[in-house]
Structure 1
Amino acid sequence: MSSWRDRWKSRLPRIAVVAHDLFMVWLVWQALHRLRWGVLPDAPSLPWWSTEVALVIAAQGLVFWQVGLYRGLWRFAGIPDLWNIVKACVLGLFAIGLALFLYNRLAMVPRTVLVLYPLALMGLLGAPRLLYRAWKDSGVELSDKSSVRILILGAGRAGEALVRDLRRFGSYQPVGFLDDAVRLRGSKVQGVPVLGRVQDVAEIARETAAKLLVIAMPSADANALQRVVMACERTGLPFRMVPRLQDVLEGRYLPGELKEVAIEDLLGRQPVMPDWKAIRSWLGARSVLVTGAGGSIGSELCRQSARHGARRIALVELDELALVTTETVLRRDFPDVELVPVLGDCGDPAVIEHALKLAEPEAVFHAAAYKQVPVLELQLREAVRNNVLATETVARACRDAGVGTFVLISTDKAVDPVNVLGATKRLAEMVCQALADQRATRFVTVRFGNVLDSAGSVVPLFREQIRAGGPVTVTDPEVTRFFMTIPEACQLILQASAIGTHEAIYTLDMGEPVPIRLLAEQMIRLAGKQPGRDIAIVYTGLRPGEKLHETLFHADERYRRTSHPKILQAEPREVTWAQIEGTLAQLREASRRYDLDALNRLLRTAVPEFRPVGVHPNYQGSATVVAFPARNARKV
């Protein structure tokens, strides 16, 4: 009984709308007839109801329904709804004319009534809808004295849409816009005045008693956004921003949701826009396997693959908690994608062969690797075992199984390597290149720079240091790095994989490198603090294996543009299996014996451009290194 009552209550608003519209049809028809005949002295008597009136209402009502006039809501009435009303009124005139012609040959129906009928009906149907929408948007029914006063920076489309959204919540009160456009000065947007320029935000925020600032400039470049953020920081008020459309479309934010200003918004580089059509064409309905599926890159690769059409994803991961976490999120967000979780070390031939047999993948993304530079300087054996030998195990198994594409995820540190991470990754690239013998399997290598917010990266470290009150530790005031976001890195991997070249090395045209000092300062400011005053920055000196500036290209690798304007393809250097095979056998034997000296010697021989810099005092091998001069920690 209660369910029937609930269904009836839910239908009442729509029934009321239908009744309103049909009443307006009756009213217009009666009013036009009485106005037309009222000018004549011998006007006939007009009934308030007749078969003719019933046919008019029935014909017009049927057109209303067919046009879809009742699929929209008055609360959100706009141009599409008005266009539907225009179509319904014009088509309704033809339907009424046909019905009355068949009934009485249009007897007693003045031609002026037929001409004026659609125009009058448009006004009586459209005006109530727009008035109701305006009343709702004005917030008349939500006059809450305790609502938060908001100042909006940016009076464009994003700002106008934000005002409408905020008024629906009722707990927020937009008190004004700030915009640098002179033409907007003194005007109103959605009834909210434009009070001044963005740089005057501190003064205007005090005058309006604003409690929250919202940056509604989703298309602003990084330099403009930096200026706006600095202006907001001077007010001491909390601030948020409207997310970019791409972030909303990719599901990272809900429509109307505000987000905190993130460090990637301020880094000065526009994100790379992938060719989604090419990616979906290559990835759609495929089965893929991802090693290191619980890591930052691996888990995002799984999400991107699921989002863009993969039918089956095998997750190979050594960490059981990371495996369960990634699998749970994927099952929640992509219930139609078949998941094949495999717990184990991908360097174990039995594990990878088992995973390949279960998933039968057409593409394998090898994301499993150790990547912490200072840690690997002390852990040479594990770096070689995981980054080189495990890569050879996975790549060989994929080739033997006839996998269509094998993608090695590498790093810019593999170019002219100066640390164990770079050297092992370069050797892994050489292994894949040597295994590529023009069989069915395509071997693709993708290099990119530092990934923001990945596990163990500098961003979460800085964030934790800021949360603890500082100091923030930076190795050197001059050190720079190339940066990209986790989703962007994974999009690059998919884009490069979709290009289709055999035995290729791809890298991203990442623009200008970012000073780590600037990154630290920006993060401190985003936390509402001032660098050097509230949070100290301490320079600790370059760590073992680190260099001031990374490079994206090797001198002997000639790069050329690809079909994607931001992806470059290198011409691989000559590598033969005869060169690599003996080295791998010796590395496996030295790894089995935990012989660090032999591992170091073999790595230096296999990667002749490897020039180690810095040395850790606890390093147990006998490597010859170029040490940096000692540097005392300096604080600013």
Structure 2
Amino acid sequence: MAYRSRVSLLVVIDTILIAAAIIAGSLLVSMSFSFFNVLFLVTGVMLISCHFLFSYRYNLYKKAWEYASTGELMIILKTVSLSVLATAAAQFLLVQTVQFRLLVVVWLLQLFAIGGTRFTWRMFRDHYLAPVQPHQKRTLIVGAGSAGTMIARQLVKNRQSDMMPVAFVDDNERLHHLDILGVPVIGGTEDITAAVKDFNIDNIVIAIPSLKKHELNPIFKECGKTSAKTQILPLIEDLVSGKVSINQFREVKVEDLLGREQVELDIEGISKQLSGRVVLVTGAGGSIGSEICRQITRFKPQKLVLLGHGENSIYSIEMELKAKFRHHNIQYVTEIADIQDEEKMQQIMNFHKPCVVYHAAAHKHVPLMERNPEEAVKNNMIGTRNVALAASNHGVTTFVMISSDKAVNPTSVMGSSKRLAEMIVQAMDQRSRTSFITVRFGNVLGSRGSVIPLFKHQIQNGGPVTVTHPDMVRYFMTIPEASRLVLQAGSLARGGETFVLDMGEPVKIVDLAKNLIKLSGYSEEEVGITYTGMRPGEKLFEELLNDHEVHDEQIYPKIYIGKTADVLISEIETLMANYDTYSKQELREELLYLANLKPQPGKQEVPAEKREEMVPMEV
């Protein structure tokens, strides 16, 4: 009913406007009132009739004029122009004459009257009828391209928004000193600090969808020099899919500041390895293990075995996967077990007979393992051996062990135990038909026990944020990225390799702390940063490969493969058999000694056909 009333009102208004345009045009052309004749009537009837005909053709009366723009203006131009041309043809056919001057004048008057009424309504509605937020935040938009312009248009149009655009900054110098939608472009990104001060900016919105991650960091650093809140445009895929609108900005996240684009997956290769297969994940309830399970589920394995020691975490990931991927027809099986139980590992592998095993279970806390080296041996080394032996004995095709950059030139018990676990896996690869590989990556943002949750907790409690050393640097990656690397490495495995990610430039821990303080809405002065000194076993910097392991070429975009080397497995087996005879200090020293022995030259590749003759390593 409201639609019919609206259309009827517009029809009446347009009829009056067209009639007025004809009368005014005739007066302007003839300068007298002697134009009321047959030709005048033909012109009037044709113009009005053709106008409504073409209005119907181009849906002119279905347009929401409160959102009118150039598209609606083009429809008015087409409708008026075609109706005038049709009237000219009717004049020629009926009275053998065409009043060109009159029709041109009427055409101009119609455009002005019909277009003017529509856009006047939009302006009136935008500026007088729409409610206004009482305290709009003065907003600086970084990026005056198409995305920034869309944001400015949305914020200007939506007076209910709590943000009001007052300035742009853009590194395109051709835009400087111009106005876009009445908002000035005042300079480049180096002028952000000055702009916030000069324009009393409350909010900064970064609106450059094409921005690479390494380009975001310097912009965020400029924003971090100010007291303004910094937000970023939502992901383009979320905008296109309709999950969010153009004016729903998100907070800048720590992972946005890694300075490196994330690894893309070889979907076909991974799908070939996992789809329809039985897959087992150890440590499935942990940060990395649970994300590996989420990623695996997308490839629709026949069965996913979730193995872990903590029943609550395993229950949580099982419930999450069943709810999120309930239409994938996957069998989820949970196994509550300790990888230190060799017999149980054999039973589980024998019962499920997985095709691929992802070994994510491990102790990873550096200070805790320094105080408890025997637990590092039991879990990280003996546990890895138990799972690897069970996998080899029961026909697993690919075994992927998750290691750490702390295993390179280790200075800690945790790093040493992971390095020796890598050697165990490499030795297994030489003696088994199963392909055993290792994946190394740096610190994982947001994983349990990592620095980010600690910093967040300290910030929430009012600080200070504790950093061990001002020069300490680490490589960082996100949990999903780490998990994707594991899956990708598994699909590339031939056996014995150590895969590492090109993680870009290492990040200073103190810079990470400063960014997190800023992202949490505080200043460094409010929270504070204190230096506590390096802990036992810590290094100022981490490495991903030893010098003798480095291959220059990438085996896959952003993924490198390290050279393998012979290992002295008998010494490692002796340590595992007698670890409980050592004191804590002796055990630390023995772990560091073995882990830092210089390996022999690279081993010879074992041809695939030779693997059939191999037998599992016995311990």
TM-score, length of structure 1 as denominator length:
0.69
Unaligned 5+ residue runs, structure 2?
10-36, 80-93, 95-110, 600-619
| Alpha-carbon displacement from aligned partner over 1:475-495 (angstroms, at most 9, x marks no partner) | 223222222222222222222
Whether the 8 Å contact between 2:467 and 2:529 is mirrored in structure 1 is yes
1:274 matched to 2:264? The reply is yes
Distance of aligned partners of 1:144 and 1:435 in 2 relative to their CA distance in 1, 3 Å threshold: same
SS of 1:417's partner is coil
For 1:603, the equivalent position in structure 2 comes to 591
For 1:632, the equivalent position in structure 2 comes to none
Distance of aligned partners of 1:504 and 1:566 in 2 relative to their CA distance in 1, 3 Å threshold: same
For 2:288, the equivalent position in structure 1 comes to 297
**What is the Cα deviation at residue 229 of structure 1?**
3.4
* Counterpart-to-counterpart distance in 2, 1:466 and 1:546: 23
**What is the Cα deviation at residue 399 of structure 1?**
2.1
Q: How does 1:249-398 map to 2 (within 5 A)?
A: 257-267=248-258, 269-278=259-268, 280-282=270-272, 285-287=275-277, 288-310=279-301, 312-337=303-328, 338=330, 340-347=332-339, 348-349=341-342, 351-353=344-346, 355-356=348-349, 360-398=353-391
* Counterpart-to-counterpart distance in 2, 1:474 and 1:248: 38
Whether the 8 Å contact between 2:173 and 2:187 is mirrored in structure 1 is no
Distance of aligned partners of 1:605 and 1:538 in 2 relative to their CA distance in 1, 3 Å threshold: closer
* Counterpart-to-counterpart distance in 1, 2:224 and 2:438: 42
SS of 2:252's partner is coil
Distance of aligned partners of 1:235 and 1:133 in 2 relative to their CA distance in 1, 3 Å threshold: farther
The count of residues paired between Structure 1 and Structure 2 equals 564
* Counterpart-to-counterpart distance in 1, 2:238 and 2:413: 36
Distance of aligned partners of 1:442 and 1:597 in 2 relative to their CA distance in 1, 3 Å threshold: same
**What is the Cα deviation at residue 589 of structure 1?**
5.3
* Counterpart-to-counterpart distance in 2, 1:172 and 1:476: 41
For 1:539, the equivalent position in structure 2 comes to 531
SS of 2:204's partner is strand
SS of 2:307's partner is strand
For 1:179, the equivalent position in structure 2 comes to 169
SS of 2:369's partner is helix
SS of 2:548's partner is coil
Q: What is the identity, as a one-letter code, of the residue corresponding to 1:466? A: I
For 1:553, the equivalent position in structure 2 comes to 545
**What is the Cα deviation at residue 138 of structure 1?**
6.1
Residue of structure 2 aligned with 1:423, choices 416, 422, 426: 416
For 1:95, the equivalent position in structure 2 comes to none
Whether the 8 Å contact between 2:133 and 2:159 is mirrored in structure 1 is no
**What is the Cα deviation at residue 139 of structure 1?**
8.2
* Counterpart-to-counterpart distance in 2, 1:139 and 1:200: 31
Q: What is the identity, as a one-letter code, of the residue corresponding to 1:171? A: S
* Counterpart-to-counterpart distance in 1, 2:351 and 2:312: 21
| Alpha-carbon displacement from aligned partner over 1:140-178 (angstroms, at most 9, x marks no partner) | 764323263341322223323334555569333432332
* Counterpart-to-counterpart distance in 2, 1:442 and 1:472: 44
**What is the Cα deviation at residue 411 of structure 1?**
0.9
Residue of structure 1 aligned with 2:134, choices 131, 143, 146: 146
* Counterpart-to-counterpart distance in 1, 2:582 and 2:454: 31
Whether the 8 Å contact between 1:415 and 1:422 is mirrored in structure 2 is yes
Whether the 8 Å contact between 1:77 and 1:133 is mirrored in structure 2 is no
For 2:447, the equivalent position in structure 1 comes to 454
| Alpha-carbon displacement from aligned partner over 1:425-457 (angstroms, at most 9, x marks no partner) | 111111111111475532221111112222111
**What is the Cα deviation at residue 295 of structure 1?**
1.6
Give the % identical residues.
Answer: 34
Q: What is the identity, as a one-letter code, of the residue corresponding to 1:571? A: K
**What is the Cα deviation at residue 308 of structure 1?**
4.9
Instruction: Indicate the larger mover: 132-141 or 154-163.
Output: 132-141
SS of 2:250's partner is coil
Whether the 8 Å contact between 2:308 and 2:336 is mirrored in structure 1 is yes
Instruction: Indicate the larger mover: 337-346 or 482-491.
Output: 337-346
Whether the 8 Å contact between 2:416 and 2:591 is mirrored in structure 1 is yes
**What is the Cα deviation at residue 244 of structure 1?**
4.6
* Counterpart-to-counterpart distance in 1, 2:71 and 2:415: 57
* Counterpart-to-counterpart distance in 2, 1:446 and 1:133: 64
For 1:238, the equivalent position in structure 2 comes to 229
Instruction: Indicate the larger mover: 277-286 or 321-330.
Output: 277-286
* Counterpart-to-counterpart distance in 1, 2:161 and 2:485: 41
If you compute each CA radius of gyration, which structure gives the higher value, 1 or 2? 2
**What is the Cα deviation at residue 376 of structure 1?**
0.3
Distance of aligned partners of 1:131 and 1:330 in 2 relative to their CA distance in 1, 3 Å threshold: farther
* Counterpart-to-counterpart distance in 2, 1:588 and 1:78: 79
* Counterpart-to-counterpart distance in 1, 2:493 and 2:243: 29
* Counterpart-to-counterpart distance in 2, 1:179 and 1:477: 33
| Alpha-carbon displacement from aligned partner over 1:82-113 (angstroms, at most 9, x marks no partner) | 99x9xxx9xxxxxxxxxxxxxxxxxx9xxxxx
| Alpha-carbon displacement from aligned partner over 1:49-83 (angstroms, at most 9, x marks no partner) | xxxx9xx99xx99x99xxxxx9x999999999999
Instruction: Indicate the larger mover: 174-183 or 425-434.
Output: 174-183
Whether the 8 Å contact between 1:346 and 1:394 is mirrored in structure 2 is no
**What is the Cα deviation at residue 301 of structure 1?**
1.6
| Alpha-carbon displacement from aligned partner over 1:365-424 (angstroms, at most 9, x marks no partner) | 111111111110111111111111111111222222322221111111111111111111
Q: What is the identity, as a one-letter code, of the residue corresponding to 2:420? A: L
Distance of aligned partners of 1:199 and 1:586 in 2 relative to their CA distance in 1, 3 Å threshold: closer
Instruction: Indicate the larger mover: 383-392 or 258-267.
Output: 258-267
| Alpha-carbon displacement from aligned partner over 1:199-252 (angstroms, at most 9, x marks no partner) | 555665566565432222344456754444344345423222224547889999
1:481 matched to 2:474? The reply is yes
Distance of aligned partners of 1:609 and 1:550 in 2 relative to their CA distance in 1, 3 Å threshold: farther
Q: What is the identity, as a one-letter code, of the residue corresponding to 2:401? A: L
Whether the 8 Å contact between 1:590 and 1:596 is mirrored in structure 2 is no
Whether the 8 Å contact between 1:184 and 1:194 is mirrored in structure 2 is yes
TM-score, length of structure 2 as denominator length:
0.71
Whether the 8 Å contact between 1:286 and 1:361 is mirrored in structure 2 is no
* Counterpart-to-counterpart distance in 1, 2:73 and 2:273: 41
Unaligned 5+ residue runs, structure 1?
1-8, 21-38, 65-69, 90-107, 109-122, 612-636
